[in-house]
Amino acid sequence: MSAQSDTRKARPGSWQPATTSDPMLRKHGSLGRPISRVDGPLKVQGKARFAAEYPYENICYAALVFSRIARGRITRIETTAAERAPGVVLVMTYRNAPRMKAPSLMMSSPSAAGASDLPVMQSDEIHWNGQAVALVLGETQEQADHAASLIEVDYASLPADTSFEEAKKKPRQLETLLGQPPILEIGDAENALKASPVQVDNVYRTPRHNHNAIELHAATVAWKGDELRVHDATQMIDLTAGQLADIFGIDKEKVRVSSPYVGGGFGGKCLWDHQILACAAAKLAQRPVRIMLSREGVFRLVGGRTVTEQRVAFGADNDGTLNSLIHTGVVAMTLHNSCPEQFTFPARHLYAAKTFRLAQEVADMDMLANTFMRAPGEAVGTFALESALDELADKLGIDPIELRKRIEPEKDPTSGKAFSSRHIIEAYEAGAKQFGWHRRNPMPRQSREGEWLIGMGCATATYPYHRFPGTAASIRLTADGRITVSTAVHDMGMGTATAQTQHIAARLGVLADRITFEYGDSALPRGVIAGGSTQTASIGGAVIAATEVFVEELIKLAGNASPLAGLSLADVEPRDNGIGHRNDPGRFETYESILRRSGRSELVCQADAPPPAEMEAFSMHSYGAQFCEVRVSEITGEIRVTRFLGSFDAGRILNAKTATSQFKGGIVMGIGLALTEETNFDERTGRIVNASLAEYHVPVQMDVPRIDIIYTDKADPQAPMGARGIGEIGITGVGAAVANAVFNATGKRIRDLPITLDKMI
Ligand code: MOS
């Protein structure tokens, strides 16, 4: 930084959600436009460097050996042959691993980041089938892999809870469901159900899912004295830096984690054992280390979505009035993780019912820590809830969209709070029109072409709005008139940098090509995790605060000789690469000119986002209506999704192209959830037996039909930029939309995901 730079430090943002989001943004046309990703050219040229691509001199490569029992102890570990194998640098086991503190569990404190809080390779204890028991460093990956295959491990097994059926018999009550009470009761829902003329009461099951981002989990790490440099593939750089510092007993300032490009992350690209092991091995070997998990390694070390069993019951009058809404159930968890798969969340705010009983508990198992995976809770919760609602509509003989209109609440039905913005019925109507819903015959099995039965289904998508506190952004103006905005956040391909570039351009009245958005590095001002569809709003809050400080500083800097002399923030608006009086076109000066006249080479300002007060005051959610058409072969039971349309209400859309891509990606993942994805967990041994993409079936090109995306684009007055999150909602409701379409096609109601051929015949 030059001697002439001027840094204004974190001052609480003056921006308040209710008053701001719009005036600037309405004026400037770039927001919402389908601008291509700013990182696109680097990616297509192969110049974007991913975590496993950083070259270091003298680097060595890590391979892992995974436990074959679910619980117990290592009784013998024979590493001599591996140590003597060609190219081996070292073998690390619990016997020689450096002493490290255990990670602290994500959400146990604001700075904790561990997906599990188990110590990593510190003793002979085994906690899950697949735990890393040895790490080999080799001069090449192949040498490391070969040596790892020579390690022999014997175990003494202890009794392990590996059966969900058994574990369910002794459920644990949760203390909290991500900060909400795990049991929510309004009135006497069981009795209201019994007293209702129309009742639906069923159990729905969803299986485990594993994270399968195209980019394998990887890190390149290097120590320089007690300084640790980590190139990670992560959605939480800042927390990872803090956690690694804690684990290795060094100051956070000594750890720098960067992750500018990530090849997919849906809750799984967090802090797992592999980064910690790589740092430990690099310390032991005193060499830089690259670790890239094999696809099997991802299944063994990176947790996924857990198994659920859910009961949904509706008690209704003949006109659809809901007397009772019950959503209860159980998920598998471990004692060492923090993701309760909050499947009861959608039922808290979607429908006006007179009574509610929403409750979930957990069954503890000896398994890899389950974790957050795209719309944890909502993805599987909406499968149960929205299937059940479709069953109710069928029983009532009311069109499912008409039923939703009749039970649309005016305010949040369980919290009593006002909705910040809710246009779900509009989303349904627009979607129904474009999809041709009126062509659907409400009677199942009425539409066919040869052996193919054709059906349509719809379901509601929903995901909450959150904004995490603690995001800071800095803004730097340089003499060339360029503006750089920096914050330690993430772009995993979803378009963060692109949308924020548009936002900053709009807010400062400059063209997007003058803006650089810096992110993906823990050395930048503190950012939040890319999770819970919160990042965009969180960054927005910080950027708005920083731009306000920036404009104020510029007015001061402009001084008496400027046409801006005597004006305050409230008098001005950014426009045409500078600042002007709101009502006087003549009073204007460009950013460049202000800086030049001040004699400075740059101006740097920084601010924190204001606390997320809007979340307390309002019920804030994104919504959508998912429409699906399927064809089911009467002969083979084969199910083909032939058309899909998602109609979303997610606040203002910041970039039509990247947003559409996010929604579509969620729907594609939802088609996998509906039809093919299932982790086969061997209940006898606790081992995942389909730990490869050959046997774990994600949707491929031929499984995905044309998907149309439309949205209401109504700015949420309570959200920064008017935008709610869009990253996770796409997957929600898809399971039910497919199941409901399958019912409409065949008359078969499948309540157990995935809907595979065997369930159809
Ligand atoms: Mo998402 S499960 O918060 O990446």
Task: Look at the domain 23-30+469-611 and name its fold.
Answer: Aldehyde Oxidoreductase; domain 4 (3.30.365)
3-state secondary structure of 466: coil
Task: Look at the domain 51-159+214-264+269-301 and name its fold.
Answer: Aldehyde Oxidoreductase; domain 3 (3.90.1170)
- 374 C-beta closer than 6 A to ligand 1: yes
- For ligand 1, the distance from its centroid to the CA atom of residue 375, given in whole angstroms, is 6
| Stretch (H or E) spanning 280 | helix 273-285
Of ligand 1's listed atoms, the one at least distance from the Cα of 529 is: 3
Instruction: Give the model's pLDDT for residue 25.
Output: 63
State which of 209, 212, 266 you would mutate to test the pocket of ligand 1, scoring each by most atoms of that ligand within 8 A of its C-beta.
266
**Nearest residue to 676 (alpha-carbon basis) of 203, 163, 209:** 209
Instruction: Give the model's pLDDT for residue 286.
Output: 98
Segment 429-474, tens digit of pLDDT: 999 999 999 999 999 999 999 999 999 999 999 999 999 989 999 9
Instruction: Give the model's pLDDT for residue 20.
Output: 42
Sorted by sequence, the CB contacts under 8 Å of residue 634 that are 6+ apart come out as: 448, 451, 452, 453, 746
Portions of the chain given CATH number 3.90.1170.50: 51-159+214-264+269-301
Of ligand 1's listed atoms, the one at least distance from the Cα of 373 is: 2
For this structure, is 728 an active site residue? yes
From 309, 614, 678, 728, the catalytic residue = 728
- 532 C-beta closer than 6 A to ligand 1: yes
Q: Contact at 8 Å (CB) between 667 and 707?
A: yes
Of ligand 1's listed atoms, the one at least distance from the Cα of 374 is: 2
- For ligand 1, the distance from its centroid to the CA atom of residue 376, given in whole angstroms, is 7
- Pairing relationship of beta strands 218-224 and 289-292 according to DSSP bridges: antiparallel
As to burial, measured by CB atoms within 10 angstroms (0-12 exposed, 13-18 middle, 19+ buried), residue 608 is buried
Instruction: Give the model's pLDDT for residue 16.
Output: 39
Map tokens 């943002």 to a residue. Answer: 13
The class of domain 372-466+616-760 in CATH terms is: alpha beta
- For ligand 1, the distance from its centroid to the CA atom of residue 673, given in whole angstroms, is 16
Low-confidence ranges of the chain (pLDDT < 70): 1-29
Instruction: Give the model's pLDDT for residue 761.
Output: 86
Helix axis angle, 496-508 to 535-558, nearest 10°? 30
Instruction: Give the model's pLDDT for residue 10.
Output: 36
Portions of the chain given CATH number 3.30.365.10: 23-30+469-611, 372-466+616-760
